[in-house]
Structure 1
């Protein structure tokens, strides 16, 4: 058996390539939308990808299953569990098997058995793997998707918070409790291959270790230590991170079938005049992906700066609307990767790329960066409005008494006094830089943020 995992660091998302070396067949579990690197890895090993399977209708990224079926003719294995609201709607006319609890299928001499493991979502399934070609008669491990992570379990509140389906958080938590009780019956030696690692918003305390075992999770995963259903439900729903607004769009897209990417060439903006003209168009957002330390010295008026790093995809999903046309300001060497990152969450409406050199000579805006002491001094001015853009759990652990809590992901539409000077901070200074660019794009004249954020403030308070 051949086995290789692939991690998209922007989404903390894991995909798995499993191949039978005797027959040359292979399958991708939870394929990402951009999968060419996985196909190349299979080809290198003399394997042909003949199948793909999703553990559930994903909410945090666009699945590559439909693209694989249409473009490469692979067979799909998709869940037929859950109610009518969570059925795949794009399988007509393609080779697809809708699977349920107990369904078995094989890829060459590798056997898979479907487990229905609801909780994160009603249709969630896991796959037990047995390497029959290697002489095994019992499973080696289990692909858990967003059911069991290393040190955590999938959050059950996304349908309610992101998709607006009321009452599903509590019922999902109870489903998760029952799924865990079944999981506890599995042999301790089974390997656990999760769908995500640390950095994903699909749980609240995911570990950074890429794999685990059933026995380890039974012993150390917090969710396995609570044996009372009511206590478990309360703890599972407590302090879950904010559900990104784009999750609702992802659920819908992966349910009805994402658009097939055809590799169309995206235009490069040739002049500063053209860049200004595009920015002025209605429903166009200019997305500047340069590092904040560069962008803060001069932003195109009306643009938003989200630096291209591991947090880029998350904040792009929060802040860019799906009906907006996107113009990206990025260095030539980064443009292809930026495009992949945006398309991985269904932001396909990129109309042009612009090199940062085109900003020279244009009307630019800037925001200020203040040391903690200067920030606190400016707070004494009655004409200032202090904004804390951190998440709920960070705010609840401690905050400036003068601050107004306005979460970064909702800052483009938040109500803010128009007659005040704005002072912004987050935990480290990274999110407040994004926030400052948003506020400048909204037309606020004076915007300054705190270098080092609340961490730096807390350190200075302790030192004093």
Structure 2
């Protein structure tokens, strides 16, 4: 029986992660590293006529709240690292411990590095290791970051990551590699379309495995570490304690515009999830623009104050369930609801509306632009008049500025397409009460339309 027949990846494009559903036979399934948003998993189970009988987590996740506890509440047998200190019922596995599925076996392999208690899970058919769920140890083209336990432990855990990789590389070359983190993950996965691999392919193509020794590996791995959302610091502990169990059908409460206005006066955060063009055409003053797209959860968790309730405004054709689950999977729990009737009811009530100017890339002329992309994107190519501050750093600096402004408010903000730039502009407008224009498009469009080259480097 091949791994491809057994294992169904469930990819979360926004977070850059994969959960896995394993068909164990006899109508039973195993779920590995499932997020709290179990909709795709439940749909995959339903289509195949399966029941989730087992759930496993490779580590205490930092980038999402685990759905394992919810699966256990539904009858699944939950297994995880014995050293994770989880405070809810589960079966702790130590290195070499096995779970017999009746024909297939799950074997724990201690692989610390990405986290202290990290385990990989070998899936064994008879005496053959079909594949290995590597979580955040070996990932396609790299290995996951080791700085989530604090900068003082980054090198120590990077050395542990090196030793863990050597254990994994001892598996046969044909062994399938099923990582949790992939392209788009802030756990240091490189870009690329491949989500799964094999031990042999990683030996041949993974640059981190081509280094000559442990010291070089540590230097290479640490040099790749970029910024990550602040909720990465909170979620491991929430996953250790156990996320609160959710109703099978949670929903966003509709809030009449008159009540919404009072909530906003009381300090509730307003997030406008409509597309950039709709937000620019007219939005509620003080709203933060975070367009509902695959990356919505990451930026919602990154730029909001986790201690304050959140109210949403959306277009009628946008799915409130999607907003809800994206928020819940990154630990945004204080949900005040959504503005009933959206912008239409707000405008009809005669309440204030403001606009944001959109600019085409070719209309920038020589104006100074704030580029809010990630550092790796910026150094690859930016317009010559750009200054740089990552969106996440901007969001972090605004509350700590004594005047309420990071620096002098920029005239124009840009990113790769416009969504992050609009988020930045909305944060700046909310704080400085000055208009900021947003570029629709990014540096590539600017270069293509003007014929001017991009500048590389910092």
TM-score between both structures, scaled by the size of structure 1? 0.88
**Residues 249 and 140 (structure 1), Cα distance of their counterparts in 2 relative to 1, 3 Å cut:** same
Residue 144 of structure 1: aligned partner? 134
Task: Select between 313-322 and 255-264 the one with higher mean Cα deviation.
Answer: 255-264
Which residue is 2:108 aligned to?
114
2:96 match: 102
1:353 corresponds to:
338
In the alignment, structure 1 residue 340 sits paired with structure 2 residue 325: yes
Post-superposition offset of 1:147 = 1.2
Q: In 2, Cα distance between the equivalents of 1:250 and 1:417?
A: 28
Q: Does 1:203 align with 2:188?
A: yes
Deviations 1:165-216 (A, max 9, x none): x421111111111112222211011111111221111114153223211100
1:411 lines up with 2:394 in the alignment: yes
Tell me the equivalent position of 2:10: 6
| 1:368 is the counterpart of 2:357 | yes
Instruction: Decide which of 12, 31, 54 is 1:28's aligned counterpart.
Output: 31
Among 266, 287, 295, which residue is 2:271 paired with?
A: 287
Say whether residues 1:66 and 2:69 are aligned partners. yes
Matches within 5 A, 1:150-229: 150-160=140-150, 166-229=151-214
Q: Is 1:390 equivalent to 2:393 in the alignment?
A: no
**TM-score normalised over the length of structure 2:** 0.89
Contact (CA 8 Å) 2:134, 2:177: kept in 1 or not? yes
Deviation at 1:320, TM superposition (A): 1.4
- Cα deviation for residue 224 of structure 1 reads 1.0
Q: CA RMSD in A?
A: 2.3
C-alpha distance in 1 between matches for 2:373 and 2:226: 11
- 2:52 is aligned with 1:49: yes
Structure 2 residue aligned with 1:237 = 222
Question: How many residue pairs were aligned?
Answer: 437
The structural deviation recorded for 1:278 is 1.9
Distance 1:437 1:397 in 2: 26
Contact in 1 for aligned 2:137/2:143 (Cα 8 Å): yes
Taking the aligned partners of 1:402 and 1:105, their CA distance within structure 2 comes to 59
Q: Render the CA deviation track for 1:85-139: whole Å, top value 9, x for unaligned.
A: xx33322xx3x2111111111123210111111111111111111224xxxx211
Aligned to 2:436: 447
1:88 to 85, 88, 93: 85
Separation of aligned partners in 1, 2:408 and 2:49: 66
CA separation of 1:51 and 1:445: change in aligned 2, threshold 3 A: same
Q: Deviations over 1:59-107 (max 9, x none)?
A: 00010111222x21322111124xxxxx33322xx3x211111111112
Deviation, structure 1 residue 402: 5.7
Q: Give SS of 1:178's match.
A: helix
Q: 1:387, CA displacement in angstroms?
A: 2.6
Contact 1:120-1:155 within 8 A present in 2 as well: yes
Aligned pair in 2 of structure 1 residues 463, 230: CA closer, same or farther (>3 Å)?
A: closer
Secondary structure of 1:167 counterpart: helix
Specify the alignment match of 1:275 in structure 2.
Answer: 260
Cα–Cα, structure 1 residues 367 and 128, in superposed 2: closer, same or farther, change >3 Å? same
- Does the aligned pair in 1 maintain the 2:182–2:189 contact within 8 Å? no
Q: Would you say the 8 A contact 2:10–2:20 is kept in 1?
A: yes
Is the 8 Å Cα contact of residues 22 and 29 (structure 2) preserved in structure 1? yes
Give the Cα separation in 1 of the matches to 2:421 and 2:49: 48
Report the secondary structure of 1:442's partner residue.
helix
Secondary structure of the corresponding residue to residue 310 of structure 1: coil
Distance 2:82 2:410 in 1: 54
Q: Matched residues in 2 for 1:364 and 1:4: separation?
A: 47
1:204–1:241 CA contact under 8 A, matched in 2: no
